[in-house]
Every structure is written in C-alpha cells, then in structure tokens.
Amino acid sequence: MREKNGLTGRIFDIKRFAVHDGPGIRTTVFLKGCSLRCAWCHNPEAIRSRPEAAFYATKCIDCGACVEACEHGARVVDDSGERVYHREACVLCGECVDGCYAEALVMHGREVCADEILDEVRKDASFYEESGGGVTFSGGEPLLQSAFVTALLKKCKNEGFHTAVDTCGMVRWEAFEKALPYVNLFLFDIKHMDAKLHEEYTGASNEQILENLRRLNDNKVSIEIRMPIIPTFNDDRETIEAAAALLGGMDSITAVRILPYHRLAGEKYISLGYENTLPKVDPPADEEMAEIAGWIRAYGLDVLL
C-alpha cells in the first residue's frame, strides 16, 4: 500500500542498470547532502542538501524561455545582452527548468516518499534475480538521511532485494546501527590514513570514519572498500600500504576496489556556480593502478580494478 503523508527524503538521481555499485545489475538511488567536501568529488551536485539549479551553457540555445518563466528576477538579460543568473534571488521554483527546451537547465534535488522509490526499484526486480543484483543507496552521504534510508532499506529487504549502502563513513554510529539489520553490503570509502591530510583535502578528519569502519567490521557485515586513487595525494606506496595494513586485519572486508581519479566532472562545478576544486593532475595510468593493486594484494586482500 502506498504511503500517505509518509516519511520523505531528498534525492538527486536514480540510476537503473548500474553495474559498478555492488554485485550484479542494480538500481542506485543518489541522495542529496554530504558530510565531506572532497576536492576531487565527481558528484558536486550531491554536496549540498538543498535543491540546486544547474546551468549547462553548452546546451543553451539563447531562446530566452527561462527569463520569461522567472517571476523573481533571478533570470535576466543585462544591458550587454548577456543572460545572467542571480542565484541569491532564486526561490528554486523550477519554472525556468520546466521552460528550458534545450535542457540546459537542470534541477538537482527533489523530495520523494519511500514508496515512490520502491516503485522504481520494483521495475528491475527480474534483473536482480538473474544477475544477483539489487538496490544501492549512494550520494552524497545517504546515511545523513538516516530515518528515510533505513525505512527504504527495510522495505527493500521485505521485498527480498539485496541491499547496499555506499558511504563515506562520516556520520554518527547511530545511523549505521539503525541501518545494519537491513544492509547486505556496505561500500565504504577510504581516502587517506593521515588525519591531517584527510582533513585538508576532504574538510574533516578520518578519525570518526575509521572508528565506524572498525565497528562495522566487529558487527561482521560485508564491507567492500572503495579507494579513489588521487595522484600526489594518496598514490604513494607508504600511504597505500598503511591503508592495506589496517584493512588486512579486518575479517569483514570482501574486497578493495581502487578507483582511478578523473576530471570529467569539471563542467558540473561550473554549472552550479562552484569553484572547480578538482586537482590539476593527470589520471593514474593503467600500469600505476596495477602496481597499486599489487601492493594491496600483498596484505591478503582481494583487489578490484
């Protein structure tokens, strides 16, 4: 039965037929809001919890529909004929987005109830059965919306779906504790073992993150580690082996997935009016990734490239 006036949460995307967010074919639900500010974030539209309007200039056809649609003075044409977006005046009503024929304007973030998400998830149930897939809750940091995500996880488990939570680990332990009974797999990010460097590049120390990881391991829940490889930040052998030494002593780690850094999200930062914080370094070469994988495997860990 569909909920009426039930618990709601804020998402910014639902991706069907995902194959990199846990085993098999999956439906990945991306929740808005994150507790970290990673310099290399490839989903900047997930960082803030509130809805945001993004403008992709390369798609704009200068039709003026957004200016006509805006009644709040946020979308205007200045004296030089340039179209200007006054974000401070925007009330995020979405009228300009609806009126954009070229889809140059996108609204990131919408309120949904749990049953709306479940309706989407059910569409792919046959693919889960055939592939061993299921549902993944990602973000942002999904456990910042703890009550909503836990309710969704419970509903998915009741339907017999495999469940996964992709987390940066930077939340109170209580959020993990509530979700634990309904999660088959945690996809857990490890970025750096040095607390000061971690804070410099992500905005927060790693102390709470590592403590949550230890407590998850003690609860004997399956954990796949996700480690972004950022050249000049965490790709040296000493840093990699420090992480591998910790993980190698944990019984619940099923694998370590290493993810090569890329700069493909640059346009997203511009579209949101953010400073582009992506490090100006080249992605690691395949040979470098293979070497890093070898360093980790030496600690008895399964590595996924």
List pLDDT tens digits, range 228-282: 999 999 999 999 999 999 999 999 999 999 999 999 999 999 999 999 999 999 9
Are 57 and 36 found together in one domain? no
Strands of the sheet containing 26-31, edge to edge, are 110-113, 8-18, 26-31, 134-138, 162-167, 185-189, 222-229, 253-260, 303-304
Note whether residue 170 is domain-resident.
yes
Are 71 and 197 found together in one domain? no
Are 101 and 232 found together in one domain? no
Note whether residue 1 is domain-resident.
no
Query: Residue 83: its pLDDT value, please?
Result: 82
Query: Residue 159: its pLDDT value, please?
Result: 96
Note whether residue 212 is domain-resident.
yes
The C-alpha angle with vertex 40 and arms to 211 and 303, in degrees rounded to 5, equals: 60
- Give the number of other CB atoms < 10 A from CB of residue 284: 20
Are 82 and 194 found together in one domain? no
Domain CATH code at residue 91: 3.30.70.20
Which tens digits make up the pLDDT trace of 68-78? 999 999 999 88
Kindly report the backbone phi and psi dihedral angles of residue 226, in degrees, each rounded to the nearest multiple of 5, phi listed first. Answer: -120, 125
Question: What b/e readout covers 178-202, taking b as 16+ CB neighbours within 10 angstroms?
Answer: bbbebbbbbbbbbbbbbeebbeebb
Note whether residue 2 is domain-resident.
no
Lowest mean pLDDT: which of 89-103, 182-196, 207-221?
89-103
pLDDT cut 70: percent of the chain above it? 98
pTM given for the model? 0.93
In this predicted structure, the answer to whether residue 2 has a pLDDT above a threshold of 80 is no
Rounded mean pLDDT, 96-123: 95
Query: Residue 78: its pLDDT value, please?
Result: 86
Are 205 and 162 found together in one domain? yes
Which tens digits make up the pLDDT trace of 133-179? 999 999 999 999 999 999 999 999 999 999 999 999 999 999 999 99
Query: Residue 80: its pLDDT value, please?
Result: 85
In this predicted structure, the answer to whether residue 3 has a pLDDT above a threshold of 50 is no
- Distance, in Å, from the CA atom of 131 to the CA atom of 149, rounded to the nearest integer, reads 24
Rounded mean pLDDT, 31-41: 97
Torsion (CA) 67, 73, 75, 81 in degrees, nearest 10: 80
Are 144 and 34 found together in one domain? yes
- Give the number of other CB atoms < 10 A from CB of residue 258: 20
Number of structural domains in the chain:
2
Are 78 and 20 found together in one domain? no
Are 232 and 187 found together in one domain? yes
Structure token digits, residue 190: 């490890």
Note whether residue 3 is domain-resident.
no
In this predicted structure, the answer to whether residue 5 has a pLDDT above a threshold of 90 is no
Are 60 and 209 found together in one domain? no
Cα–Cα nearest to 53, from 96, 15, 82: 96
Domain span including residue 141: 8-50+109-304
Using CA atoms, how far residue 29 sits from 18, 45, 146, in Å, is 10, 14, 14
